[in-house]
Amino acid sequence: MTATAAEQRWPWWPLLPLYPYGRRRTLVRELIAERLWSFEQLQGVWYVAVPIRMTVLRVREGLLLYAPVAPTAEVLAQLHQLEEHHGPVCTIVLPTASGLEHKLPVPAMARAFPAAQVWVTPKQWSFPLSLPSAWLGFPPSRTRVLLTDGVPHGDQLDWLPLGPLDLGLGTFMEIACFDRASGSLLLTDALVAIPPEPPELFDLDPTPLLFHARERGDEPLVDDPALRRRGWRRLVLFANYLRPRPLEVPPLGEVLSHCLAPGCRRPRSHFGFYPFRWLPDWQADFEALVPDGRCSVQVAAVLERLVFPRQRNALVAWIRGLAGLRELRWLVPCHYEAPVACSPARLSALADRIEAGPWAQDQGPWLTLAGIDRTLVKLGVVPGEEADG
Protein backbone atom coordinates (compact mmCIF):
# COMPACT_ATOMS: atom_id res chain seq x y z
CA MET A 1 0.00 0.00 0.00
CA THR A 2 1.39 3.39 -0.95
CA ALA A 3 1.17 6.10 1.71
CA THR A 4 -0.27 9.47 0.76
CA ALA A 5 1.41 12.85 1.22
CA ALA A 6 -0.95 13.53 4.17
CA GLU A 7 0.15 10.31 5.89
CA GLN A 8 3.78 11.36 5.48
CA ARG A 9 3.26 14.85 6.90
CA TRP A 10 5.65 15.94 9.68
CA PRO A 11 4.34 19.26 11.06
CA TRP A 12 7.28 19.85 13.42
CA TRP A 13 9.88 20.11 10.64
CA PRO A 14 10.53 23.87 11.20
CA LEU A 15 12.20 22.97 14.54
CA LEU A 16 15.02 21.44 12.52
CA PRO A 17 14.48 22.51 8.92
CA LEU A 18 16.12 19.66 7.08
CA TYR A 19 15.31 18.13 3.70
CA PRO A 20 12.67 16.75 2.94
CA TYR A 21 11.02 19.28 5.28
CA GLY A 22 7.31 18.64 5.85
CA ARG A 23 7.07 15.37 3.98
CA ARG A 24 8.79 12.33 5.48
CA ARG A 25 8.54 9.13 3.53
CA THR A 26 9.35 6.05 5.59
CA LEU A 27 10.80 2.72 4.55
CA VAL A 28 9.98 -0.10 6.96
CA ARG A 29 12.08 -3.28 6.80
CA GLU A 30 12.13 -6.36 8.96
CA LEU A 31 15.81 -6.85 9.85
CA ILE A 32 15.47 -10.00 11.94
CA ALA A 33 12.31 -12.06 11.61
CA GLU A 34 9.75 -11.33 14.33
CA ARG A 35 12.38 -9.46 16.37
CA LEU A 36 13.84 -6.31 14.83
CA TRP A 37 12.52 -3.70 12.39
CA SER A 38 14.04 -0.62 10.79
CA PHE A 39 12.05 2.56 10.09
CA GLU A 40 14.10 4.82 7.82
CA GLN A 41 13.50 8.39 6.77
CA LEU A 42 15.61 10.76 4.72
CA GLN A 43 17.08 13.78 6.41
CA GLY A 44 19.67 16.37 5.52
CA VAL A 45 20.66 19.85 4.48
CA TRP A 46 20.37 21.08 0.91
CA TYR A 47 20.00 17.62 -0.59
CA VAL A 48 22.88 16.21 1.47
CA ALA A 49 20.34 13.79 2.80
CA VAL A 50 21.24 10.52 4.50
CA PRO A 51 18.90 7.94 6.01
CA ILE A 52 18.09 8.21 9.68
CA ARG A 53 16.81 5.08 11.37
CA MET A 54 14.56 4.15 14.24
CA THR A 55 15.00 0.56 15.35
CA VAL A 56 12.03 -1.32 16.78
CA LEU A 57 12.89 -4.23 19.03
CA ARG A 58 10.48 -6.83 20.34
CA VAL A 59 11.03 -7.45 24.04
CA ARG A 60 9.01 -9.69 26.34
CA GLU A 61 6.72 -6.82 27.43
CA GLY A 62 6.05 -5.44 23.93
CA LEU A 63 7.94 -3.13 21.60
CA LEU A 64 10.90 -0.88 22.32
CA LEU A 65 11.57 2.11 20.04
CA TYR A 66 15.27 3.01 19.88
CA ALA A 67 15.95 6.54 18.54
CA PRO A 68 12.48 7.52 17.27
CA VAL A 69 11.97 9.08 13.84
CA ALA A 70 9.23 11.60 13.04
CA PRO A 71 5.94 9.84 13.93
CA THR A 72 3.98 10.59 10.76
CA ALA A 73 0.60 8.91 10.25
CA GLU A 74 2.40 6.37 8.04
CA VAL A 75 4.87 5.50 10.83
CA LEU A 76 2.12 5.23 13.45
CA ALA A 77 0.02 2.97 11.20
CA GLN A 78 2.99 0.63 10.74
CA LEU A 79 3.73 0.63 14.47
CA HIS A 80 0.09 -0.13 15.28
CA GLN A 81 0.30 -3.09 12.91
CA LEU A 82 3.36 -4.39 14.75
CA GLU A 83 1.57 -3.84 18.06
CA GLU A 84 -1.26 -6.14 16.96
CA HIS A 85 1.18 -9.03 16.63
CA HIS A 86 3.85 -8.30 19.21
CA GLY A 87 2.28 -6.24 22.00
CA PRO A 88 2.19 -2.55 22.83
CA VAL A 89 4.93 0.02 22.43
CA CYS A 90 6.11 -0.03 26.05
CA THR A 91 9.47 1.74 25.91
CA ILE A 92 10.81 4.73 23.97
CA VAL A 93 14.57 5.34 24.15
CA LEU A 94 16.52 8.46 23.26
CA PRO A 95 20.04 6.99 23.13
CA THR A 96 22.02 10.22 22.61
CA ALA A 97 22.64 13.38 24.62
CA SER A 98 23.49 15.61 21.69
CA GLY A 99 22.04 14.24 18.43
CA LEU A 100 19.33 16.80 17.72
CA GLU A 101 17.97 14.81 14.78
CA HIS A 102 17.17 11.93 17.16
CA LYS A 103 15.97 14.14 20.00
CA LEU A 104 13.31 16.20 18.23
CA PRO A 105 10.91 13.38 17.32
CA VAL A 106 10.83 12.02 20.91
CA PRO A 107 8.11 14.28 22.42
CA ALA A 108 5.69 13.63 19.52
CA MET A 109 6.39 9.89 19.65
CA ALA A 110 5.83 9.92 23.42
CA ARG A 111 2.46 11.64 22.95
CA ALA A 112 1.47 9.02 20.38
CA PHE A 113 2.07 6.24 22.94
CA PRO A 114 0.86 7.69 26.26
CA ALA A 115 1.35 4.43 28.16
CA ALA A 116 5.00 4.02 27.13
CA GLN A 117 7.89 4.71 29.46
CA VAL A 118 10.39 7.22 28.04
CA TRP A 119 14.10 6.74 28.74
CA VAL A 120 16.60 9.45 27.85
CA THR A 121 20.38 9.56 27.87
CA PRO A 122 21.83 11.64 30.75
CA LYS A 123 23.18 15.16 30.14
CA GLN A 124 20.55 16.23 27.63
CA TRP A 125 21.38 19.65 26.29
CA SER A 126 19.97 22.14 23.86
CA PHE A 127 21.57 24.93 21.87
CA PRO A 128 21.68 27.94 21.85
CA LEU A 129 19.68 27.91 25.12
CA SER A 130 20.15 25.27 27.78
CA LEU A 131 16.59 24.23 28.58
CA PRO A 132 15.33 21.91 31.32
CA SER A 133 14.29 18.52 30.01
CA ALA A 134 10.53 19.16 30.55
CA TRP A 135 10.92 22.17 28.23
CA LEU A 136 12.45 19.92 25.61
CA GLY A 137 9.09 18.15 25.59
CA PHE A 138 9.86 14.95 27.46
CA PRO A 139 6.80 14.05 29.58
CA PRO A 140 8.05 14.52 33.19
CA SER A 141 5.77 11.92 34.81
CA ARG A 142 7.01 9.02 32.68
CA THR A 143 10.53 10.04 31.64
CA ARG A 144 13.50 8.40 33.29
CA VAL A 145 17.22 8.91 32.81
CA LEU A 146 19.12 5.88 31.51
CA LEU A 147 21.71 4.44 33.90
CA THR A 148 20.96 7.15 36.53
CA ASP A 149 17.42 5.79 37.18
CA GLY A 150 18.24 2.23 36.08
CA VAL A 151 17.71 0.65 32.67
CA PRO A 152 14.67 -0.78 30.87
CA HIS A 153 14.41 -4.54 30.29
CA GLY A 154 17.73 -5.18 32.01
CA ASP A 155 16.94 -8.92 32.16
CA GLN A 156 17.02 -9.06 28.33
CA LEU A 157 19.17 -6.11 27.24
CA ASP A 158 22.61 -4.68 28.06
CA TRP A 159 23.18 -0.91 27.96
CA LEU A 160 26.70 0.32 27.13
CA PRO A 161 27.46 4.05 27.33
CA LEU A 162 30.08 5.96 25.34
CA GLY A 163 30.80 9.03 27.41
CA PRO A 164 29.90 11.43 28.86
CA LEU A 165 32.61 13.30 26.93
CA ASP A 166 33.01 17.02 27.46
CA LEU A 167 32.69 18.94 24.17
CA GLY A 168 32.80 22.41 25.71
CA LEU A 169 29.49 23.37 24.06
CA GLY A 170 27.80 20.41 25.72
CA THR A 171 28.28 16.74 26.40
CA PHE A 172 28.57 13.88 23.95
CA MET A 173 27.06 10.64 25.08
CA GLU A 174 25.45 7.74 23.29
CA ILE A 175 24.18 4.50 24.75
CA ALA A 176 24.32 1.26 22.83
CA CYS A 177 21.68 -1.37 23.50
CA PHE A 178 22.46 -5.07 23.14
CA ASP A 179 19.65 -7.55 22.59
CA ARG A 180 21.02 -10.83 23.90
CA ALA A 181 18.36 -12.99 22.24
CA SER A 182 19.14 -11.89 18.68
CA GLY A 183 22.78 -10.83 19.17
CA SER A 184 21.91 -7.37 17.84
CA LEU A 185 23.69 -4.25 19.02
CA LEU A 186 21.72 -1.04 18.46
CA LEU A 187 23.96 2.00 18.01
CA THR A 188 23.41 5.68 17.34
CA ASP A 189 26.05 7.84 15.63
CA ALA A 190 29.59 6.76 16.58
CA LEU A 191 29.92 3.66 14.38
CA VAL A 192 28.61 3.31 10.82
CA ALA A 193 29.01 1.06 7.79
CA ILE A 194 28.72 2.93 4.49
CA PRO A 195 27.30 0.90 1.60
CA PRO A 196 28.78 1.29 -1.89
CA GLU A 197 25.32 1.46 -3.47
CA PRO A 198 22.47 3.87 -2.62
CA PRO A 199 20.22 2.62 0.18
CA GLU A 200 16.80 1.32 -0.83
CA LEU A 201 15.17 4.32 0.87
CA PHE A 202 16.18 6.49 -2.10
CA ASP A 203 13.83 4.47 -4.31
CA LEU A 204 11.06 6.48 -2.63
CA ASP A 205 12.76 9.78 -3.53
CA PRO A 206 15.99 9.73 -5.57
CA THR A 207 16.09 13.55 -5.97
CA PRO A 208 19.13 14.16 -3.71
CA LEU A 209 21.13 11.53 -5.65
CA LEU A 210 20.19 12.91 -9.06
CA PHE A 211 20.94 16.46 -7.92
CA HIS A 212 24.53 15.58 -6.99
CA ALA A 213 25.11 13.28 -9.96
CA ARG A 214 25.41 16.28 -12.29
CA GLU A 215 28.54 18.10 -13.41
CA ARG A 216 26.90 21.49 -13.97
CA GLY A 217 23.78 23.34 -12.84
CA ASP A 218 22.27 23.55 -16.32
CA GLU A 219 22.02 19.75 -16.60
CA PRO A 220 18.48 18.55 -15.87
CA LEU A 221 17.94 15.86 -13.25
CA VAL A 222 18.03 12.51 -15.05
CA ASP A 223 17.27 9.18 -13.38
CA ASP A 224 19.27 6.03 -14.11
CA PRO A 225 21.11 3.54 -11.88
CA ALA A 226 24.62 4.80 -12.75
CA LEU A 227 23.65 8.39 -11.97
CA ARG A 228 22.04 7.34 -8.69
CA ARG A 229 25.26 5.57 -7.72
CA ARG A 230 27.41 8.57 -8.63
CA GLY A 231 25.09 10.90 -6.70
CA TRP A 232 25.19 8.60 -3.66
CA ARG A 233 28.99 8.54 -3.61
CA ARG A 234 29.23 12.32 -3.78
CA LEU A 235 26.53 12.72 -1.16
CA VAL A 236 28.48 10.39 1.15
CA LEU A 237 31.57 12.62 0.75
CA PHE A 238 29.50 15.69 1.67
CA ALA A 239 27.95 13.96 4.67
CA ASN A 240 31.32 12.70 5.94
CA TYR A 241 33.65 15.61 5.27
CA LEU A 242 31.16 18.55 4.96
CA ARG A 243 33.26 19.99 2.14
CA PRO A 244 34.79 17.19 0.06
CA ARG A 245 38.42 17.66 -0.99
CA PRO A 246 37.99 16.96 -4.73
CA LEU A 247 35.46 19.76 -5.14
CA GLU A 248 35.90 23.29 -6.41
CA VAL A 249 33.44 26.15 -6.22
CA PRO A 250 33.24 27.72 -9.68
CA PRO A 251 33.21 31.52 -10.01
CA LEU A 252 29.81 33.00 -9.13
CA GLY A 253 29.32 34.34 -12.68
CA GLU A 254 29.64 30.82 -14.08
CA VAL A 255 27.26 29.39 -11.47
CA LEU A 256 24.65 32.06 -12.21
CA SER A 257 24.99 31.61 -15.97
CA HIS A 258 23.74 28.01 -15.53
CA CYS A 259 20.69 29.06 -13.53
CA LEU A 260 17.26 28.91 -15.15
CA ALA A 261 18.53 26.76 -18.03
CA PRO A 262 15.80 24.83 -19.90
CA GLY A 263 14.77 21.80 -17.86
CA CYS A 264 16.10 23.33 -14.63
CA ARG A 265 13.47 25.98 -13.91
CA ARG A 266 12.03 24.13 -10.96
CA PRO A 267 12.57 24.13 -7.21
CA ARG A 268 13.50 20.44 -7.47
CA SER A 269 16.72 21.35 -9.31
CA HIS A 270 17.14 24.53 -7.24
CA PHE A 271 16.55 26.46 -10.49
CA GLY A 272 19.94 25.36 -11.78
CA PHE A 273 21.90 26.73 -8.81
CA TYR A 274 24.78 24.26 -8.37
CA PRO A 275 28.00 25.79 -7.03
CA PHE A 276 30.11 22.65 -7.36
CA ARG A 277 32.74 21.37 -9.77
CA TRP A 278 34.00 17.88 -9.04
CA LEU A 279 37.64 17.17 -9.86
CA PRO A 280 38.43 14.12 -12.01
CA ASP A 281 39.88 12.07 -9.10
CA TRP A 282 36.90 12.54 -6.79
CA GLN A 283 36.09 8.79 -6.70
CA ALA A 284 39.36 8.08 -4.86
CA ASP A 285 38.06 9.71 -1.67
CA PHE A 286 34.92 7.56 -1.73
CA GLU A 287 37.02 4.44 -2.31
CA ALA A 288 39.14 5.35 0.71
CA LEU A 289 35.96 5.48 2.83
CA VAL A 290 34.51 2.27 1.39
CA PRO A 291 37.61 0.17 0.57
CA ASP A 292 37.13 -2.60 -2.01
CA GLY A 293 33.47 -1.59 -2.35
CA ARG A 294 32.78 -3.43 0.91
CA CYS A 295 30.61 -2.12 3.67
CA SER A 296 32.77 -2.23 6.82
CA VAL A 297 32.31 -0.85 10.30
CA GLN A 298 34.11 2.42 10.97
CA VAL A 299 33.98 5.50 13.16
CA ALA A 300 31.81 8.20 11.55
CA ALA A 301 34.23 10.70 9.96
CA VAL A 302 32.65 13.89 11.31
CA LEU A 303 32.67 12.44 14.81
CA GLU A 304 36.28 11.26 14.53
CA ARG A 305 37.52 14.70 13.56
CA LEU A 306 35.14 17.01 15.45
CA VAL A 307 33.89 15.06 18.46
CA PHE A 308 36.59 12.49 19.25
CA PRO A 309 39.85 14.08 18.04
CA ARG A 310 41.18 14.10 21.61
CA GLN A 311 39.03 11.24 22.91
CA ARG A 312 40.54 8.28 21.10
CA ASN A 313 41.19 6.34 24.32
CA ALA A 314 37.59 6.63 25.52
CA LEU A 315 36.31 5.51 22.14
CA VAL A 316 38.68 2.53 22.00
CA ALA A 317 37.70 1.51 25.54
CA TRP A 318 34.01 1.59 24.56
CA ILE A 319 34.58 -0.48 21.42
CA ARG A 320 36.56 -3.01 23.46
CA GLY A 321 33.61 -3.17 25.86
CA LEU A 322 31.28 -3.89 22.93
CA ALA A 323 33.70 -6.57 21.74
CA GLY A 324 33.15 -8.28 25.09
CA LEU A 325 29.57 -9.15 24.06
CA ARG A 326 30.13 -12.79 23.23
CA GLU A 327 26.81 -13.34 21.44
CA LEU A 328 27.27 -10.31 19.16
CA ARG A 329 26.15 -11.00 15.58
CA TRP A 330 24.67 -7.79 14.17
CA LEU A 331 25.21 -4.05 14.38
CA VAL A 332 22.26 -1.74 13.78
CA PRO A 333 23.42 1.91 13.70
CA CYS A 334 21.04 4.84 13.20
CA HIS A 335 22.60 5.83 9.88
CA TYR A 336 23.71 4.06 6.68
CA GLU A 337 23.65 0.25 6.41
CA ALA A 338 21.82 -2.11 8.77
CA PRO A 339 21.97 -4.81 9.85
CA VAL A 340 25.73 -5.21 9.51
CA ALA A 341 27.11 -8.68 10.19
CA CYS A 342 29.66 -8.39 12.99
CA SER A 343 31.48 -10.34 15.70
CA PRO A 344 33.49 -9.61 18.85
CA ALA A 345 36.70 -10.35 16.88
CA ARG A 346 35.83 -7.74 14.24
CA LEU A 347 35.19 -5.08 16.87
CA SER A 348 38.48 -5.94 18.60
CA ALA A 349 40.24 -5.55 15.24
CA LEU A 350 38.55 -2.15 14.76
CA ALA A 351 39.75 -1.04 18.21
CA ASP A 352 43.30 -2.22 17.33
CA ARG A 353 43.20 -0.30 14.04
CA ILE A 354 42.04 2.89 15.74
CA GLU A 355 44.75 2.57 18.37
CA ALA A 356 47.57 1.86 15.93
CA GLY A 357 46.54 3.96 12.93
CA PRO A 358 46.52 7.69 12.21
CA TRP A 359 43.81 9.60 14.07
CA ALA A 360 42.13 12.98 13.59
CA GLN A 361 44.30 13.80 10.57
CA ASP A 362 44.69 17.26 9.07
CA GLN A 363 45.43 16.42 5.44
CA GLY A 364 43.58 15.31 2.33
CA PRO A 365 39.83 14.81 2.84
CA TRP A 366 40.16 15.91 6.49
CA LEU A 367 41.22 19.46 5.67
CA THR A 368 37.84 21.16 6.22
CA LEU A 369 36.96 19.27 9.41
CA ALA A 370 40.46 19.88 10.80
CA GLY A 371 40.07 23.60 10.08
CA ILE A 372 36.74 23.73 11.94
CA ASP A 373 38.26 21.86 14.90
CA ARG A 374 41.27 24.19 15.05
CA THR A 375 38.99 27.24 15.00
CA LEU A 376 36.80 25.85 17.79
CA VAL A 377 39.86 25.10 19.94
CA LYS A 378 41.30 28.56 19.26
CA LEU A 379 38.03 30.24 20.24
CA GLY A 380 37.95 28.16 23.43
CA VAL A 381 34.60 26.61 22.42
CA VAL A 382 35.96 23.07 22.76
CA PRO A 383 38.69 21.85 25.13
CA GLY A 384 42.06 21.53 23.39
CA GLU A 385 43.89 19.04 25.58
CA GLU A 386 43.87 15.29 25.46
CA ALA A 387 40.87 14.57 27.64
CA ASP A 388 41.47 10.92 28.36
CA GLY A 389 45.21 10.73 28.74
CA-to-CA distance for 288 and 285, rounded, in angstroms?
5
Nearer to Fe ion, 68 or 99 (CB): 99
Q: Which stretch binds Fe ion (CB under 5 A): 1-9, 91-99, 171-179, 261-269?
A: 91-99
Q: Does 174 bind Fe ion (CB under 5 A)?
A: no
Nearer to Fe ion, 99 or 198 (CB): 99
Interacting positions 176-195 with Fe ion (CB under 5 A):
189
Nearer to Fe ion, 269 or 311 (CB): 311
Interacting positions 193-212 with Fe ion (CB under 5 A):
none
To Fe ion, the closest distance from the beta carbon of 260 in angstroms equals 36
To Fe ion, the closest distance from the beta carbon of 310 in angstroms equals 21
Query: By Cβ distance, which residue is nearest to Fe ion?
Result: 189
Strand partners, 248: 277
Q: Provide the pairing of β-strand 171-179 with 157-166.
A: antiparallel
Nearer to Fe ion, 126 or 257 (CB): 126
To Fe ion, the closest distance from the beta carbon of 334 in angstroms equals 5
Nearer to Fe ion, 255 or 301 (CB): 301
Q: Rule CB under 5 A: choose which of 44, 51, 62, 99 binds Fe ion.
A: 99
To Fe ion, the closest distance from the beta carbon of 359 in angstroms equals 21
Interacting positions 26-55 with Fe ion (CB under 5 A):
none
Could you tell me how far CA 303 lies from the centroid of its own chain?
11
Q: Which stretch binds Fe ion (CB under 5 A): 69-77, 98-106, 238-246, 359-367?
A: 98-106
Query: Taking CB under 5 A as the rule, which mask of x and - marks residues 286-305 in contact with Fe ion?
Result: --------------------
Nearer to Fe ion, 13 or 274 (CB): 13
Which of 87, 43, 34, 38 is closest to 66 using CA atoms?
38
The residues of the shown chain that bind Fe ion, judged by CB under 5 A, are 99, 189
